[in-house]
Amino acid sequence: MFMQKIFLPFLLVFCCNLFVAAQPEAYIESNYDPHALFSPLFYPNGETITRAATGEPNTGYWQNRADYQIDASLNDTAHEIKGSVTITYKNNSPQALPFLWLQLDQNLFNKDSRGQARMPFDSRSRYGDSKSSFNGGYKITAVKNLNTNTAADYIITDTRMQVRLQNPVKPAGDIIKLKIDFSFTMPEYGADRSGILKTKNGEIFAVAQWYPRMCVFDDVQGWNTEPYLGPSEFYLEYGDFDIALTVPASHIVVCSGELQNAAAVLTATQLQRFEEAKKSDKTVMIRTEKEVTDPSSRPAATTLTWKFKMTNTRDVAWASAKSFIWDAAKINLPSGKTSLAMSVYPAESSGKKGWGRATEYTKGSVENYSKRWYEYPYPVAANVASNVSGMEYPGIVFCGNKAQTIGLFGVTDHEFGHTWFPMIVGSNERKYGWMDEGFNTFINSLADDDFNKGEYKQPKTSMEYTAGSIFGEYSETVLSTPDAMMEANIGNALYRKPGYGLELLRNEVLGADRFDYAFKTYINRWAFKHPTPWDFFRTMDNAAGENLSWFWKGWFVENYRLDQSIVAVNYDKNNAANGAVVTIANLQQMAMPVNISYETNSGKTGVVKLPVEVWNNTITWKVKLPTTEELKKVEIDAEKVFPDINFKNNTWQGNGK
């Protein structure tokens, strides 16, 4: 940045209605350097064989695949999950792989984990408690290479496992199978991503990050082995899942994917209602509140095994409880296909102000996003009331059990919005949390208007009160990794700021038509693939036909601030009949288009809109207003849609103020 002072000469003007009030001598200090913002060297590299300059996968794009067969059981007394997972891993890369890396995210809850070491001493974090006595993590009892039918050579480092192979997995399609036996004790509060909720009718188990998962091997970094520390989320390969969950017979289980053996785990009445719900636009009760305490509402057995199947997904999660009320309704998709919205919740959460409308919210959210962006790909959408405030997984979400009305709608809509980012568009959340949270925050802002004829429509955001939080003293860049951010900044840097940024692009820079076309192009290009931020930037530029590098740099890569101001208003040749010339300045390093509103003394109004290119090579700009009358008021961004940090210098009054 550089500092420049602009001198505006002293204007001596007689007090007459035909003239602008006298302008004082003014020195304007600006931190704006147009060469830094509009540099042509923004993009770090050109086209590669895997990623095109247009932002789409290139002809040589590849990604590996991981299929999972999981057999697990829940001991609801000991809070223990025990099972085995068979992983079929396919190497589509051009490299031979002499070793494999897996994620062991449950190891976060080991007292000696790196994540626990990062918990603050003097306050509780969302992601853990330094004073907790809980000591969890995996117990790995066997790792077997099924290709050789031998025990695998492996090491465990914190939340990662390396399997060292005698024979590398060959490139271009070779397959290896691993079988891992594991167990762990569930934490009551699992970093706000899983947990155990106590209710009057029994505990609710919300189970996630529960099986060893393959790390991603990609064309950008090779193996992505960043440890799980809590704030940063997940980066996973796609594949098919076959799941068998053995739980007490008194429990109801909901899981990612489609239930395969409903007749074996439901009563005849529940099975009838379950099938009815698949055809009903209205919510159907599968298990009522009264039936929760009725032993006959579950089959007579000690344990039952629930079987689920899910295809082309990056993950699965599940929930189990004897206290579940269960309802469901049909989801109508644009193609004519259907899915099933369902909700499970305890008696304490029921009622029309609470979870009695959860399935309605789920159905509305999925149908809306399917229509706007990309069709929902999963057979179910399950909403679980839990002690998790809000967390997303493919086909299932965990939401706060105490949420009601607009709060429940908001968290439901947000968590199911994650179906599109990062479940369909499989970005690297571990590094780029904004590519799921920020994108989702943006699509949520449109959904508020859509649901039930605007029942929960929110007032338009005024940047007059928002800019200060976006560009606070301790704010961090959007492209910072979540683990490297102060926890207090995560809400702004990952959610609000990128969400507002996309709203700005849509509403003020590109317009809805161009933006929506480009955004949908991005989703379609990268559905079930692994985009980087640069793939997103390039796709938006190319599909919208606009070089937006100035915006990506200022809003996402850097933490530039915006301050546009009115410097002076003068009548041409000191005569209002000749029109008025407005001098504006850009005082900080960010730039935006400029909307100049004006009002004459007779009450006539107008708006002059300037593109961002007026700031290409200058700090100040002059524009002539299309008026021949005396001016009462001139204002930059009267509707306050841009994140200006100082709206006080945006207005000129006809009396010289």
- The answer to whether residue 137 scores a pLDDT higher than 60 is yes
Which helix (DSSP H) or strand (DSSP E) does residue 533 occupy? Answer: helix 533-544
Provide the mean pLDDT of the chain: 93
- The answer to whether residue 533 scores a pLDDT higher than 60 is yes
**CA-to-CA distance for 261 and 273, rounded, in angstroms?**
15
Q: What pLDDT, on the 0 to 100 scale, is given for residue 362?
A: 98
What would the pLDDT profile of 149-167 be if each residue is shown by its tens digit?
Answer: 999 999 999 999 999 999 9
* pLDDT-based confidence at residue 19 (cuts at 50, 70, 90): very low
Q: What pLDDT, on the 0 to 100 scale, is given for residue 436?
A: 97
How much is the pTM?
A: 0.93
Region 133-138: mean pLDDT is: 93
- The residues, ordered by sequence, that sit 6+ positions from 17 with a Cβ below 8 Å of its Cβ are 630
* pLDDT-based confidence at residue 45 (cuts at 50, 70, 90): confident
Q: Which residue has the tokens 């931190």?
A: 31
By C-alpha distance, which of 89, 94, 87, 88 is closest to 62?
A: 94
What would the pLDDT profile of 302-313 be if each residue is shown by its tens digit?
Answer: 999 999 999 999
What would the pLDDT profile of 396-408 be if each residue is shown by its tens digit?
Answer: 999 999 999 999 9
Region 614-643: mean pLDDT is: 95
* pLDDT-based confidence at residue 463 (cuts at 50, 70, 90): confident
What would the pLDDT profile of 80-91 be if each residue is shown by its tens digit?
Answer: 999 999 999 999
Region 594-622: mean pLDDT is: 96
- The answer to whether residue 11 scores a pLDDT higher than 50 is no
Other Cβ atoms closer than 10 A to 52: 20
Region 246-257: mean pLDDT is: 98
Region 264-277: mean pLDDT is: 98
Q: How far is CA 135 from CA 92, 99, 106, 129, 188, in A?
A: 38, 29, 11, 12, 11
- The answer to whether residue 1 scores a pLDDT higher than 50 is no
By C-alpha distance, which of 491, 486, 460 is closest to 474?
A: 486
Q: How far apart are the two ends of the chain, measured CA to CA in Å?
A: 30
Region 202-231: mean pLDDT is: 97
Region 596-614: mean pLDDT is: 96
* pLDDT-based confidence at residue 27 (cuts at 50, 70, 90): low
Number of helices (H), then strands (E), in the chain? 14, 34
Residues 190 and 208 sit within 8 Å (Cβ to Cβ) = yes
Region 305-329: mean pLDDT is: 98
- The answer to whether residue 611 scores a pLDDT higher than 50 is yes
Share of residues in the chain with pLDDT > 70 (%) = 96
* pLDDT-based confidence at residue 541 (cuts at 50, 70, 90): very high
Three-state DSSP at 351 gives: coil
Q: How far is CA 413 from CA 312, 418, 479, 603, in A?
A: 23, 9, 25, 44
Burial 307-337 (b: 16+ CB within 10 A, else e): bbbbeebbbbbbbbbbbbbbbbbbbbbeeee
Angle at which helix 463-470 crosses helix 497-504, to 10 degrees, equals: 130
* pLDDT-based confidence at residue 2 (cuts at 50, 70, 90): very low
656: Cα within 13 Å, side-chain hemisphere = 13
Among 81-85, 215-219, 357-361, 453-457, which is the least confidently predicted range? Answer: 453-457
Q: What pLDDT, on the 0 to 100 scale, is given for residue 462?
A: 84
**Bridge-partner residues for 325, per DSSP?**
345
Residues 212 and 416 sit within 8 Å (Cβ to Cβ) = no
